[in-house]
Amino acid sequence: MKPELIVELVYTFTALIVSVAGAYVVYIRNKGASPLYVRMVVCMLGCRFLQGFIEFLLLRSDVVMDGLSITGVGQLAQMFFLICANYGAIDSLVDEGSREYLKYRLIAAIVPVSILIYYLLNMDEIGKNAFDRCTILFGLVIMLIALYYHIKHLIIKDIEGGIVRSIRLYNLIGVINCVAMFVEWFTGPGTLTWYISMFLYIFVTLTILPALEHGVRKWRTYRPVK
Hey, where are the domains in the chain? 3-220
pLDDT band for position 36 (cuts 50, 70, 90) = confident
Give residue 176's pLDDT. 94
- Comparing 50-64, 65-79, 82-96, 132-146, which segment has the lowest mean pLDDT? 65-79
pTM to 2 decimal places: 0.86
Q: Which of 67, 66, 199, 49 is nearest to 138 (CA)?
A: 67
Does 66 score more than 60 pLDDT?
no
N- to C-terminal Cα separation, the chain: 59
- CA-based torsion, 209, 214, 220, 225: positive or negative: negative
Pick the CATH number of 3-220 from 3.40.50, 1.20.1070, 1.20.81, 1.10.760: 1.20.1070
Are 184 and 201 in contact by the 8 Å Cβ rule? The answer is: yes
Q: Which of 33, 17, 25, 162 is nearest to 90 (CA)?
A: 162
Give residue 127's pLDDT. 58
Does 31 score more than 90 pLDDT?
no
Give residue 128's pLDDT. 60
Helix (H) or strand (E) holding 215: helix 192-220
